[in-house]
Amino acid sequence: MSEPFGVRLRAQMERRGPLCVGIDPSPALLTAWGLDDSPAGLERFTFTVAEAVSGVAAAVKPQSAFFERWGSRGVAVLERVIPSLREAGALVILDVKRGDIDSTMAGYAEAYLEQGSPMAADAMTVSPYLGFGSLAGAITTARANDAGVFVLARTSNPEALTLQSAVADQIFEGVAAANEGEDDLGSVGVVVGATLDKVGHPLDRLGGPILSPGLGAQGGSPSAVARLFSGVRHAVLPSVSRAVLGDPSRVRSQVERYRDECVEHLRG
């Protein structure tokens, strides 16, 4: 890579519009597509979605769990689709939510961020709940490979509210410190749910991107995202999954609709 992830993400959002599309090959979606819940069905679903969205969305976010459930056969599909998406021009954010310490965190980072790895993505999601310092290995590896990390901060699942409210300040401060000195959008971002009523923490000094999942099926909308992040809209990457994946014949048109709405509300 010749440019840091944050710089590439900013350019991609300007070029294609601020939208990330999740690839979530759940058993329910495979069934809805008339596919077997099998590695073959997983592969068919994954590459159909990838072909439909790789030239349209700024970023694509495969959910690793739905591949891992099939062991080596599922991981093999993931290893094939990541470079395919990247070659088509989409940034790949691998949704793995890894969080550990020292050599173990470094191992996860090597697997998902080290260029040359079979699963090398442009960015990965990470969990900070062993302490923000536990992410140091991932952040170091990301910088060395012009990759990025998105740190779970304020997710939209109700059971997370109490825990995340208690530590969110530390997470946002840690991310801001990691991006300090960056002239453009930094490469260390946060995950903040699109369905929240409010963030409750200042984001204007964050310095990095905000991945905001929850459009569509979870109740989030581009207009609500624009209100939630009114002061930092330039840094927000909303994400949609199930709402665009239900009908294989309409994936691209649904993605284009959400993309156009995100452009309207986040750039208006």
Residues classed as catalytic: 97
> 160 Cβ partners below 8 Å, 6+ apart?
154
| Nearest-angstrom CA–CA distance, 237 and 191 | 10
Nearest to 66 by CA among 20, 24, 21, 112: 24
Structure tokens belonging to residue 140: 């170091």
| Nearest-angstrom CA–CA distance, 116 and 113 | 9
| Nearest-angstrom CA–CA distance, 119 and 128 | 22
Structure tokens belonging to residue 152: 């779970």
| Nearest-angstrom CA–CA distance, 171 and 107 | 22
Query: Phi/psi zone of residue 234: left (φ > 0), alpha (ψ -120 to 50 degrees), beta?
Result: alpha
188 forms beta bridges with 149
Query: To which residue do tokens 């077997």 refer?
Result: 36
